[in-house]
Amino acid sequence: MSRRERLTSRARSLRSTFLPTDTATGWALVGPGVLLIGAFGLLPVLLSLKLSFQKSDMLSDGTPWVGVDNYRKLVDDPLFAHAIKNTVVFTALFVPGTMLVGLLVAVALNRSLRFITLYRTAAYITMAVSTITQGIIFMWLTDRDYGLVNAALNEIGIGSQPFLASPSQALLVITAMTVWGWTGFTVIVYLAALQGVPAELHEAAAIDGAGPITRFRTITVPLLGPANLFLLIYLTINALQLFDEVYQTTRGGPLQATMVIVYYLWDRAFVQFDAGYAAAMAYSLFAVILVITAVQFRLSRRFTHYS
Amino acid sequence: MTPVPVAPLDAAIDEVDTHPDDEPIAPPPRRLGIPFSPWHLVLIPITFLLLVPLLWMLITSLQTSAETQKFPPQLLPSQPRWHNYVDAWQAAPFGQFFLNSAMVTFVVLASNLVVCSLAGYAFARVKFLGRGALFVVLMATLMVPFQVTMIPVFLIVKWFGDNVWEGLGIDHLGALMLPNLATAFGIFFLRQFFQTVPVELEEAARVDGTSRLGLLFKIVLPLSLPALSTLAALTVLNSWNDFLWPLIVITSTDQMTVPLGMSYFQGAHVVQWPLLMAANVMSLLPMLLVFVVAQRYFVQSVASTGVKG
C-alpha cells in the first residue's frame, strides 16, 4: 500500500467512523444477537466457573462455596479416571479409524464416472442420520442372538460375540458405529481437498513416468495436509464429547466399560444433581480442548502448505 | 459447535462437485476389456457396505417379529409387512414428536436467519464503537464446548420459565428454542459472506437514500442466497437431530422431539425390532429428504466450515 493509498483509506475509515448514526445503527443491528449469545453463550461460561467452586443441586437455593474442593475430589475420583481412560481409548481408535475410512472412500469417489453422484450421495448420507437412529440400528445389527453381524461371523467360522453386552467389546462396537456415523462428513472434507489437487501436477508427474501409487504418495498426500490437520482436531474435539451413542446403547455399561467423560458429567449433573462437581468436570474438559486447539494453531503454522 | 479455522480448506471448497460428472479427469483405463470402468467394481461394494446398516433397518422394518427371531437371520421378509409402520405410529405419539421437532426447528431456523443476518451485516459493513472487541468476544464463545455451558443454561432457562413465561421453562418446547435462537457461528458465517458482496452496489443505493435495513434486505440478502441456504441446511440438521439438550430439559412425552421420542420408544419396546425399525425409518425420512434435496449446501457447509452436531 502506498502512502497515498494509506492516507485515503484512513480518511475513508475516519469519515465512516464519525458518521454519527453508525454506532447506534450498528448496536441496533447486533443487539438481538448479542443479547441472545450473551445470555446463553457468554454468561453461562462465567456461571459455570462460579458453580465449579460451589456445591449445588440446582433445585434448592443454598449454594455454599467450597473452594477448590470439587477439583480436588475430581483428582481422587476413580470413576473420573476410568472415564478419562475410556474417552482416550475411544478417541485413539475413532479419530484415525474415521480418517482412514474417509480417505479411502474419498479417493475411490474422486473420479468422473457414470453414477458418481449417486455413489457420493450414498457415502454422504450417514451425515443425515441422527445419533439415536444410528444407535438403535447398531444395537440390532450387533444383537447377541439374532444380529446380522453375528450371522456373518458364524458364516466365516468365528462364532457369535456378545458385543454391547461385553465389557471388552462394547467400546469397540460404539467406536465402529461412530466411525460409520462420521464417514459422510469425513468423505466430504477429503473429497473437497482431493479436488483441490491440481490435475496438471498429476499429468506432469505421469509424463515423467510416476505410477499412480507414487503420484498419490508424493503429490496427493502432502496436499492433503490441511484437511488432515482439520479432521484430526475436529474429530478429536468431537470424540472427547461423545455422549449420545453411549446413552442410547449402553448407558456407560456393562461394568462401566463405556463410561466416558461427558456421560459421567451428565450423570453427575442431571441424575445425581451434583452440579458443582459436574461443572468442575466440564471446566477440566474445556481446558483439555483449549490445549488441543492451541496445539493445532501451532501445528497448522508449521506443517500446513498453502499453495 | 466448535469452530476450527479452516482457511486452507477454503481454496478447495469452490472445487467441490464443480467437475461435471461426465468430463473425464483422466482417461478411464479400459484394459480389462469390460464395457464399463473397473472403478464400478470398487465403488459398488464400498457403497453397499456403507449402506448395510440402513438397508438392514429397512428390511427389518418389513419383517414379522417371528422372522426377526431366527438365526441366522432371514435376509428378506417372505412378505413385506407394511402394517409395522401403522403399528409403530400408534405405539407412541409419533405425530406429536414430529410436530414438536418441526416447531422447534422452524422457530430456531427463522430466528437464526434473521438475527444472524442483522448482526452479520453490521459486523461486515457498519462501523460502530466497540465492533472489534464485541466480535472477538462473540467468536470466543465458539471455543466453549456445550458441556461447559449446559448446566447454567439449564438454570437460566428454568429462571425464564419461573419469571418470564412458563412456555420458555423446563419441560416446554420454548426451552428447546430459547438458547438456540442465534449462534455465534451463524453470525461469523454470514459476515464472511457479506464481506464478499461488492460494496459499490450498496453505495449507489445509499446515495438514493436507502436505509441500512433496506440495503440489507434489498441488495445484500438476495445476493447471499447460497450462504443463507447453507446456514439453513446446517441449522435444520443440527436442530432436528439434537439430543443432549432435549434430554436434559424435557421429561414429558408430549413435549419430546423425534430423537428423544425414539430413544424413549426404544426403551419401552426393547425387543420389538420390526416396530422399532419402522419407527426409525419414519424418524429418518424428514432429514433424509432435506439432505437429498439440499445436498450441495451440506457439502458446502462441511467443506467450508467443518461443523457437525
Confidence check: pLDDT of B198 > 60: yes
pLDDT at B249: 95
Task: Report CA-CA distances (Å) from A147 to A72, A135, B55, B89.
Answer: 45, 14, 14, 24
Confidence check: pLDDT of A147 > 60: yes
Q: Cα–Cα–Cα angle for A230, A131, B239, nearest 5°?
A: 80
Distance from CA of A205 to the nearest CA of B (A): 13
% of chain B at pLDDT higher than 70: 87
pLDDT at B304: 66
Tell me if B241 sits within 8 A of B17, measured CB to CB.
no
**Separation of alpha carbons A44 and A51, rounded Å:** 10
- The answer to whether B251 faces chain A, any CB pair under 8 Å, is no
Confidence check: pLDDT of B309 > 70: no
A291 contact partners, CB below 8 Å, separation of at least 6: none
Give the residue among A232, A224, A236, A274 at the shortest CA–CA distance from A55: A274
Distance from CA of B93 to the nearest CA of A (A): 17
* CATH code 1.10.3720.10 for A69-303: yes
- The answer to whether B35 faces chain A, any CB pair under 8 Å, is no
- The answer to whether B73 faces chain A, any CB pair under 8 Å, is yes
- The answer to whether B54 faces chain A, any CB pair under 8 Å, is yes
Tell me if A58 sits within 8 A of B151, measured CB to CB.
yes
pLDDT at B134: 94
pTM of the full predicted structure? Answer: 0.86
Q: Cα–Cα–Cα angle for A216, A218, A223, nearest 5°?
A: 80
CB spacing of A247 vs B143 below 8 angstroms: no
Residue with cell 475410556: A86
B230 contact partners, CB below 8 Å, separation of at least 6: B189, B297, B300, B301, B304
B53 prior amide bond cis, ω within 30: no
Distance from CA of B253 to the nearest CA of A (A): 17
B275 contact partners, CB below 8 Å, separation of at least 6: B84, B87, B88, B91, B269
Q: State the pLDDT confidence band at A305, using cuts at 50, 70 and 90.
A: low
CB spacing of B128 vs A121 below 8 angstroms: no
User: Which residues of chain A lie closer than 8 angstroms to B287, CB-CB?
Assistant: 128-130
Q: Give the 3-state DSSP-derived string for A207-244, with helices as H, strands as E and coil as C.
A: HCCCCHHHHHHHHHHHHCHHHHHHHHHHHHHHHHCCCH
Tell me if B87 sits within 8 A of B254, measured CB to CB.
no
Round to the nearest angstrom and report the end-to-end CA distance of chain A.
Answer: 23
Q: Which of A31-40, A189-198, B153-162 has the lowest mean pLDDT?
A: A189-198
Give the residue among A212, A194, A101 at the shortest CA–CA distance from B19: A194
Write the CATH number of the domain with boundaries B93-305: 1.10.3720.10
pLDDT at A111: 86
C-alpha cell at A156: 466365516
B225 contact partners, CB below 8 Å, separation of at least 6: none
Confidence check: pLDDT of A301 > 90: no
The H or E element spanning position B263 is: helix B258-268
| A13 against B106, higher pLDDT | B106
**Separation of alpha carbons B117 and B97, rounded Å:** 30
Confidence check: pLDDT of A118 > 50: yes
Q: State the pLDDT confidence band at A224, using cuts at 50, 70 and 90.
A: confident
Tell me if A275 sits within 8 A of B147, measured CB to CB.
no
Q: Cα–Cα–Cα angle for A60, A64, A68, nearest 5°?
A: 130
User: Which residues of chain B lie closer than 8 angstroms to A141, CB-CB?
Assistant: 52-53, 56
Q: Where in chain B is the domain with CATH 1.10.3720.10?
A: 93-305
